[in-house]
Structure formats: C-alpha cells, structure tokens
Amino acid sequence: MYEASVGGALRLYRAALTRCWFPALLLALCWAATTALLERSFPATADPWAWSAQVQLLLWSGFLWRLLLVAGVVSLLCYGALVAVIHGVAVNDTARTDAGIGLALRALPGALIAAIIYLVATSVATMAFIIPGAFLWGMWQLWLVVIVVERTGPVVALQRSWQLMRGAWWRISTLIAIVTIIATIPPLIVGGIVGTVLTLSGAAPEHTALVMSVAGVIMNLLLAPLVPAALVAAYLDRLRARAVSG
C-alpha cells in the first residue's frame, strides 16, 4: 500500500526503480542531447549585448521550437512509460522494464492533446492571476496517470483528474511540489561540485562539458522516476478515498 505522502512516494520509487531504467535512460539522453544542441547553437559569451542578441536570434529561430517540440514529445512518451511501469509495480508488482513504452505509445496522441490543453490553460490562468493558475495545475496534475492507466481521451483525463483531486488539492499539490524539489536539487549540487572540481583542476572545456553531460545523464536516470512515483501514489490514494466515500 503506497499512500500519498513523501514516505509512500519514496517507497514506491525504490520498489520500481530497477524496472524504470529503460524509459528513464531515454528521458535522460533526450535531455542531455537537447542541452548539448542548445549549447552548440548558443555559445557562452561574457559580452551582455552579444548574449542578448544571441537570445533574440534563438527565440526567433525555427530550430529552437523544433528542438523543443521533439524534446517535449519524447519527454511525454518517457514520462508516460514511467507512469505505466510504476503503476504496474504498485498494483501487482509484475511490470516489465519495456512494457511501459508500448502503453505510452498508445496513449501518446491523447496525451499530446491533453498536454497542450493543460499548458495553455494553466499558462493563461497564471498570467491572468497566479492563484487560478496554481489551482488548475493542482486539479489537473493527475491527467497523465489517468490517460495511461485508464486509457481515456484527453478531455476525459482532465475531467477525471479534477474529480479525483476534489478535497485533496492542498495535500497532493504539496506532496508533488516537495518530491519535485527532492528530484531537482541533487543534479544541481552534483553538477556544481563536478564543474568546480574540473575547473580548478584545469581540465579542458570540452572534457568538462563531456563529464558534466555524463553526470547529468546518470543523475536524471536515477531521479526521473521520482515525480511519476509520487503521481501514481497520489492517484491510487485518491482512488481509495473515492471508493471509501462512496
């Protein structure tokens, strides 16, 4: 039984970690490749005016948006696969490491539509006033789990997430926020330490970049399943709560 708590999410993460390596590795490699391509197209400079010009050129380039689109689709596929594997471990402990990709592929078209609705609606609500944006984010945050596990359409997945989150917005949103922080901080610390050590040791910039990239892949490989584990734990917790309440 994995309850919607930090401890419950961490227990589910540990139980599923060894079976999540394939989608987690794909996700980590996707992020590393995206970062490398951006750095190649956006070289570092100490001149603030040159940096500003580079940013403007990059924002108006088709390359950036094509790259973000491909990275977004691959990331969504990998997160869907992680959700499928982790849910299988939580429910019957029989998930295969490669089973999640097939489920995520079948759910991908609907997941793309749901992701667009989710991002547009929460962004508009946030720009209008931050509280509505935060509220929508919390009420709809289980949509990916619903669309992968229950095989619903995109609109139904958002509606189902809203239904499940009633009465639990603060508790579940706090859980997901804490787990996201836990998953984000270690890569930053490790990257900072590795970068500092290599710089002080006089390593060549290309060697530093390579080592930093490898370290980033390893950290993301290990930590990528953490947030999906929290989402699955929250989903199962809300299912139990709805069943008990009638």
Mean pLDDT (10-residue bins), the chain, 246 residues: 88 92 93 86 65 72 85 95 94 70 91 94 82 88 95 95 93 94 90 82 77 88 95 94 64
- Number of domains, the chain: 1
Give the N- to C-terminal CA distance of the chain in Å, as an integer: 20
Q: Is residue 17 part of a domain?
A: yes
Dist CA 140 CA 122 (whole Å): 9
Q: Measured between alpha carbons, how far is 138 from 153 in angstroms, rounded to an integer?
A: 19
CB atoms within 10 A of CB 238: 22
Q: Are 183 and 208 in contact (CB under 8 A)?
A: no
Query: What are the tokens at 4?
Result: 């919607």
In a domain, 222, yes or no: yes
Which pLDDT score, from 0 to 100, does residue 45 have? 60
The reported pLDDT for the residue numbered 100 is 82
Question: What pLDDT does 245 receive?
Answer: 56
AA letter at 192: G
Whether residue 40 lies inside any domain: the answer is: yes
* Model pLDDT, residue 119: 92
Give the per-residue pLDDT at 228: 96
Q: 51 CB contacts (<8 Å, ≥6 apart)? A: 45
For the CA atoms of 103, 106, 111, 112, the dihedral, rounded to the nearest 10 degrees, stands at: 130
pTM above 0.75? yes
- The count of C-alpha atoms lying within 13 angstroms of the C-alpha of 90, restricted to the half-sphere facing its C-beta, is 28
| Residue 73 covered by a domain | yes
pLDDT attached to residue 58: 72
Q: What is the largest CA-CA distance in the chain?
A: 65
pLDDT of residue 60: 77
Is the residue at 240 inside a domain? yes
Residue 46 lies in a domain: yes
Assigned domain for 1 exists: no
Residue 149 has which token pair? 């596990």
Tokens standing for residue 135: 């509220």
The boundaries of the domain holding residue 217 are 6-245
